[in-house]
C-alpha cells in the first residue's frame, strides 16, 4: 500500500483479546512495544517504523515498513481534545463521508456490550477505496472521566485480526 502525502492526509481525515500466554510480564503482547504519548498508551508491533506527524491532530504514526513499502499504518492523535469518544469518532467519520474518502463504508465490527459507554470508548470498523483496491480500517476514540480524548486509526489492505485485537486491548487514556 502506498502512503503518499495525499493518502496520509486522506487517511488522517478519517482517520479478540490476546492470549495470556502471549503477553509479556507488563501486559504488552509478545512482539509489541508500549508507546506512551500525550494522553495515551498503546502497543505497537516491534520493528514498525515511525512515520511522524500527519496533521495537527494526528501527531504520530507508525507503519510496518518504510515509505511506499508500507502495507499497514497506525495513526495516533494522543491529545484529540476535551469532549467524549462518541463525538470525536463521529466527527472523523463525518469528515470521511463528506470529505470525499472514496467508497467509505462503515462495516459491522465485533459485538459490543450493550452496557458499553460509547462516551468513554467508541470503535468504528470501515472500508474505503484506495488507488489499488479496497482497504480496511478501524477507528478508536477513548476518553477518560475528565473528557481527555485520544484517537487511533489502523488501516491496511487486509488487517490481521490479531493485530487489531492487540491494539484494541492495549489502548488506554492516561491523561
For 26-54, what is each residue's pLDDT tens digit? 568 899 999 999 999 999 999 999 999 99
User: Hey, where are the domains in the chain?
Assistant: 5-173
The cell for 18 is 490476546
CA–CA separation, 113 and 120 (whole Å): 13
Q: What is the per-residue pLDDT across 57-103, written as a single tens digit (0 to 9) for each?
A: 999 999 999 998 999 999 999 999 998 888 888 889 888 877 667 89
Task: List phi, psi (to 5°) of 69.
Answer: -80, -10
Q: Is 3.40.1000.10 the CATH classification of the domain at 5-173?
A: yes
Which residue has 477513548 as its cell numbers? Answer: 142
* Conformational region of residue 12, where left means phi above 0, alpha means psi within -120 to 50, and beta covers everything else: alpha
CA–CA separation, 19 and 64 (whole Å): 22
Amino acid at each position: 500500500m502506498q502512503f503518499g502525502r495525499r493518502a496520509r492526509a486522506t487517511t488522517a481525515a478519517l482517520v479478540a483479546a490476546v492470549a495470556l500466554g502471549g503477553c509479556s510480564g507488563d501486559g504488552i503482547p509478545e512482539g509489541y512495544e508500549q508507546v506512551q504519548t500525550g494522553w495515551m498508551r498503546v502497543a505497537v508491533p516491534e520493528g514498525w517504523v515511525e512515520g511522524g506527524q500527519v496533521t495537527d491532530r494526528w501527531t504520530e504514526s507508525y507503519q510496518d515498513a518504510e515509505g511506499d513499502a508500507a502495507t499497514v499504518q497506525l495513526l495516533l492523535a494522543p491529545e484529540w481534545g476535551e469532549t467524549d469518544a462518541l463525538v470525536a469518532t463521529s466527527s472523523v467519520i463525518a469528515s470521511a463521508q463528506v470529505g470525499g474518502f472514496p467508497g467509505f463504508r462503515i462495516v459491522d465490527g465485533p459485538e459490543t456490550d450493550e452496557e458499553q459507554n460509547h462516551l468513554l470508548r467508541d470503535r468504528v470498523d470501515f472500508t474505503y477505496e484506495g488507488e489499488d483496491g479496497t482497504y480496511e480500517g478501524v477507528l478508536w476514540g477513548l476518553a477518560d472521566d475528565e473528557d481527555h480524548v485520544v484517537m487511533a486509526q489502523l488501516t491496511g489492505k487486509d488487517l490481521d485480526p490479531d493485530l487489531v485485537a492487540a491494539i484494541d486491548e492495549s489502548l488506554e487514556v492516561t491523561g
